[in-house]
Amino acid sequence: MKVSVLGAGSWGTTLAVLLSNNGHLVTLWEHKRSYARILNKTRENKFFLPGIKIPKEIIITNSLDESISNQHMIVLAIPSQFIRSVLQKFGKRNLSNTTFVSVAKGIEKETLKTVSQIIKEELEVDDSNIGVLSGPSHAEEVSRKIPTAVVSASNVKATAHLIQAAFITSYFRVYSSVDLTGVELGGAFKNVIAIGAGIVDGAKFGDNTKAAIMTRGIAEITRLGLALGAKPQTFSGLTGMGDLIVTCMSKHSRNRFVGEQIGAGKKLKNVLSSMKMVAEGVETSRSVYQLASQNDIEVPIAEAVYQILFEEKDPSKITYDLMTRDMKPEH
């Protein structure tokens, strides 16, 4: 297939290389013209993915029009808060034969929409044109062909299978799902819990605390997901518990890193200004807090993360408040 990957960060570059190695004709779009030139010259993304060579067969461009014209598949590897503005530049064109695959893990602030909802709203395409690829998959490992398992999801089974077939390799195993809502929410919400797990690391609370945050965190993800129409089994799978584990535990996790720095006493604005990449969980924590409030769903850990990030509440005091809530059954 002719496939474009929009976004030349670490994940976009990794997936472009994977798709090219799978025999697809790949175009990689970089929004900065100067960096697109560097990528073309060096064939290496030294800023985001050093050490991984970009095959000469991949077309690297700064032209959005070149990237979206006559493509069978367009992969959106752009931070979720910027996807709408990029889609608005597509203009009026027939996209009925193009499959859109989101690999972003966030919820848009203000609108509280998932990426698939943004695609449908901005491009007016059918459900059969929209899917996501999500799961425990750090670019740093996938790019080095470390065995990884993820999920392709769409409301239409055939679309989920199309995405599955496009990406699957001997080291990148892709399962399929028709629970688009659950897969998207799991991937987005786990970043919020991962910030909480990082706060635990930064505040030196210990493994017991981290296990509690992760386990009760998946309970919150599931509660909110069910209220929004997701299937419960999705959250015990790769895009729920699987993605939560890797994001809460890994040294590669940007969201865990943000939490760790906050837990150690640093200010959010200073932490974010020091990072090269986007930590989706920061803005998503605001969205999750609002979604839970609107649907009257109890998410005490997500609420605590929101209060620490945006109201500068003390992590130790918040932890005490969580531990001394009213007694409850586990399930």
Is residue 28 within 8 A of residue 13, CB to CB? The reply is yes
3-class secondary-structure state, position 281: helix
User: Which residues is 45 bridged to in the sheet?
Assistant: 49
Q: Does the active-site annotation cover 190?
A: yes
Of the candidates 244, 237, 102, 221, the residue with the CA atom closest to the CA atom of residue 160 = 102
Angle between helices 157-167 and 10-21 (to 10 degrees): 80
3-class secondary-structure state, position 112: coil
The length of the chain is: 331
Instruction: Given the residues 105, 113, 120, 190, select the one marked as catalytic.
Output: 190
- Separation of alpha carbons 99 and 44, rounded Å: 27
- Separation of alpha carbons 273 and 22, rounded Å: 37
Is residue 197 within 8 A of residue 150, CB to CB? The reply is no
Is residue 286 within 8 A of residue 310, CB to CB? The reply is yes
Which sequence positions are flagged as catalytic?
190
